[in-house]
Amino acid sequence: MSSTNGTNGAGNGTVLAPALTLDQARRYARHIILPEVGSAGQRKLLAAKVMLIGAGGLGSPAALYLAAAGVGTIGVVDYDVVDLSNLHRQIIHGHANIGKAKVDSVRERLADVNPDVNVVTFNEPISSANAFDVLRDFDIVVNGSDNFPTRYLVNDAAYLLKKPLVDGTLFRFEGRANVFLPGQGCYRCLFPAPPPPGAVPSCAEAGVLGAMCGVIGTIQAVETIKLILDLGEPLVNRLLLFDSLSMEFREVKIPRDPNCPLCGDNPTIHELIDYEAFCGAPVTALG
């Protein structure tokens, strides 16, 4: 069984949506027939609130599968517009949406995928000034950003708000995914300090295999659903690595660091900081 123990605001069985309608019973029939889900589990999904950081390569498949699964409220924060260069990997957007705000494109697409879903959009950068307000009302945070200032910001904000964080990242033909639960480690345990500015090229600089976004973003959706339903063993204290060229998955243990400045035994980080200064790099597009 999972180690969430009902401490994360999701999967603890205390929040259920109203009884399913006949249409919902048909829509989610293949979920409901699973003994581990059932009608009660589907009602948990419909009552859940998930925030996606970025409507790009990872956010696209995650949003589509979470909406199809019936997650009742999906938040999306992104301030970019759809560009032609996005379309090989950001599958939630279409050619007709080029030039449109990504959050508006996501809202339209998810409304078509599942009208049960309430989509809450934030067409603005997430920052130290607004992160708590953006994340506060959501049960789980799914990070699909691809710049270090945002990754550290989202990690710190989610931890300080005691929100589970489902993390993912991509580089060329490789990707990784993991889950951080409050009190059980954080992104700073894995990466105590950001790399030197310019040491790690962005997606725009290094490229990425478009289909890799589907692999990692879908894993993030699965992990999110597991947390909501308290199913199985989430990727807590475990880093899942995928190399598409060798078609190999590896797992690395990532224990909580007792010396971590955020989640360690004697934390020194109690509020959000200037993450651009911390990383020595500006915030770029989220996905």
Q: Which tokens in the block code for residue 115?
A: 């009208």
Helices (H), 92-142: 102-113, 131-135
pTM of the predicted protein model: 0.93
49 φ/ψ angles, rounded to the nearest 5 degrees: -130, 120
Counting runs of H as helices and runs of E as strands, what totals does the chain give? 11, 8
Q: H/E element holding 29?
A: helix 29-32
Beta bridge partners of 81: 101
Q: Chain-wide mean pLDDT for the chain?
A: 93
Residue-wise pLDDT tens digits, 45-81: 999 999 999 999 999 999 999 999 999 999 999 999 9
Give pLDDT tens digits for 124-153: 999 999 999 999 999 999 999 989 999 999
Instruction: Report residue 4's pLDDT band, with 50, 70 and 90 as the boundaries.
Output: very low
* 3-state SS class at 200: coil
CB-CB neighbours of 33 under 10 Å? 9
| pLDDT greater than 80 at residue 13 | no
What's the CATH architecture for 22-279? Answer: 3-Layer(aba) Sandwich (3.40)
Query: Quick one: pLDDT band at residue 198, thresholds 50, 70, 90?
Result: confident
> Residue 2 pLDDT > 50, yes or no?
no
Domain-by-domain residue ranges, the chain?
Answer: 22-279
What's the pLDDT tens digit per position in 76-132?
999 999 999 999 999 999 999 999 999 999 999 999 999 999 999 999 999 999 999
> pLDDT class for 7, splitting at 50, 70, 90?
very low
Which residues are CB-neighbours of 24 under 8 A, at least 6 positions away?
42, 46, 70, 116
